[in-house]
Structure 1
Amino acid sequence: MINADTNPAPATTHRGPSRRQALTGLAAVGSLAALAACAPGSSGGSSSSGDGGGTLRVSTWGNDSRLKLTQQAVAEFQKANPDIKVTVENSEWTSYWDKLATGTAANDSPDVIQMDEAYIAAYGTRGALLDLETVSAQLDLSEMDEKMRDTGLVDGTFVGAPIGTGNFSVGVNPTLLEQAGVAMPDDTTWTWDEFADIAAQVTAALGAQGVYGFDMFGAGTAELGAWVRQFGQEVFPTDDQTAAEPATVASYFEFAKRLVDTGATPPASVQSENTAAALDTTLFATNKSAFHLQFHTQISAYAAASGNELRLLRLPAQQKGESPRMVNKASMYWSIASRTTQSENAAKFVDFMLTDPAATKILTTERGVPAIPSVQEDILPVLDPQAKIALEFTQAITPELVDPPQVTPAGASSWNTDFPTIGTEVLFGRATPADAAERTITAAAGML
């Protein structure tokens, strides 16, 4: 699924809104309707340019490790800008969005906001986020890849500066493949059919030890998005894109059932338990699954839990010779409140956190592989081996990427709970692929 730290960890362990926990915070976003009209691009107050102007409030979510590194980077910013005071307001995932929605509706939003893909449209379309083009003199993102930068657009307005990249990919445990006598696949040519066969071979060889070839498939929003994109379709299409078709979505569910039937993935009950488990107790993290679909910066967390060096592979394609049509996704963003009275100071802060070596060499891949190529090169010497694997994977596939989809629409607050419910019913045999496809398309269309 796409992007929520439901159990926040460093960005090398960054997880998208998983099946583990529903996205509850968006319910609170409805309170934003109480905001007086404040169009993106208007700071809503007088901006300060390094003259103090009170304390710059920065809101973040994450665990103690992320917070500690963030505070170290903030200390470097304050050394370089002694006239700007900064305070970091950190929360765990769910309470973070509750607090942000309440504060924004009360005109008490933090100045700088760590923003997530699943929420950026909900805030951006309500005028709660500043148009960052208005502070381009302080925030220079000219080095960032245009496709990556454009993931911060909401209705054509640049409201989120991408912090890092996330590529939905295949994590692989080479040790398990070796134990199963299965060769490492060529991810530049493999197809989903080949992937299914390889996973089934691993289960056949190691199943007596409780090992599966592939841990779970069939109820993930990121999975579905990647699958239909390979047919030139999108779950949430823009005006110039093709909407996901019933036959395409049905083929996704049919493939999920095939994986179970052939033993490539566990039975539905095991998959369901696995989705509810903490990351370090999942099948992939405990060396009980050779393959796992994930955003690539999670690889360090899984490697730390498994005790093995893990690798990353491209997504399989539908047919030989076809592109897997992988995309960049922002791991998260820095946004600025539209009503801040310190828009220029806030932009200086964001620029420092994204581009200045004094900060980037502290944060490294904490919030994802940096979205700016020169920063990637700066931090490479200080990365651990698994973080280097994530960075090198990003660099290798970047020339192959296609345009990313639009961010999760403002009305799609329940998508990350509605779709997994549908997919799970297929896995348990309570819904047919065709019926589930119709329900999926109806649900998605109703959210646009």
Structure 2
Amino acid sequence: MAKRAGLDPMGLALGLLNKVAGAPLLERFGLHKPVEKVAYEATRAGFRTIGAATRTFKAVGKLGGAPARLPSAPESGLFDLTPTDEQRMIVDTVAEFAAEQLRPAAAAANESCTPPRELLGRVAELGVGLLGVPEQLDGAGTERSAVTNVLVAEAMAHGDLGLAVACLAPSAVSTALVLWGDGDQQAIYLPSFVGEDVPAAALAILEPRPLFDPFVLRTTARRGPGGYVLNGVKSLVPRASEAELFVIAAELPGSGPALFLVESSASGLTVESEPGMGLRAANMGRVLLDEVSVPATALLGGGSREVYTECVRLSRLGWCALSLGTAQAVLDYVIPYVNERQAFGEPVSHRQGVAFKVADIGIELAGMRLVTYRAASRAEQGKSYAREVALARKLCTDKGMAIGSDGVQLLGGHGYVKEHPVERWYRDLRALGVVEGIVLV
């Protein structure tokens, strides 16, 4: 999508709908392929390579200016989480995209551990990443949009959670730049995220060790001549082999955890494949940092602990949204299955043990959605939302995994085979209890 100045959310939604409605089904999203600049080497056999040094980030506009920030949404005065008309139109378009593009590609992407490049290009064409970028920076944002971003993430994950992570990973970096980047950082990096050739980028917080605590990091950033020197390993980084820009979490001695902008071309940065139990379609990898030097200007948010804490909270909120979409996919799949599956001369849904289990999924999903939307609403209004995020993450982690497990059980033997997508959704939902970072709302 070309840069669009002054585009409000209503205009963006109408534009997306017109694009969808004005093309045949097979050509609906095949508009333009992104410029292919990276030799994609990820295979099931694995890879290890230097970062994807394919782009030089240059400032567009004058350096030294004030950063552009989105204002908080106005207080509604009522506890009403009903989406606005603009949000409905945007979500309807994203949901249609997820059903027609993500769902059919999910099985093959899961097997190859590689998201289709053409699909990633269509996501850029869809313009989802513009929602969190201010209008003055050629985005479509006029105010904080945590609720809209949650709704978009939920709609995408209904198609496939792994592909949704691959599609939304660059938006995490652009959102971090909008929220905490200074004027120079925004001028250098943000213009690339509002054009047609959106760079692969990722927020990397998680480290490969048991019982990981995002506030106790082993990746370190010591002060060096003219900047910082980073050492450590980051785990489960989406699209690591092709990423051109990372936001890396590292322990800054004397200050605590902080965020750093690290280009993949930095000397000492390498990536290696890390396929896991779930989220395989996101092409997960490890980022290894060995004496990686970055300038002092790479520090995001001034190294503030409050900035890092908010980053963790918004990331957890994003994962709650993703769990909603995939859990809803499980429910939507098992209901017709148990109604059509015959046993002893009648549908298995006539058995109370089956019917009650399906009802439990619906009840738990409604609770997950309520607390997640409430946390997002408070976040975009600038209110305290720490308690709400904690409740949402606990509920979505526990109940999301349980819903995935119940979905497999309700399909019986069919739940264990790859002919049905429920086993993949179960594996993806297991990630909710272990991941940190990656997405940001």
Q: Which has the higher contact order (CA 8 A, sep 6+)?
A: 1
Higher helix share: 2
After TM superposition, is the score higher than 0.5?
no
TM-score (norm 2): 0.27
TM-score (norm 1): 0.27
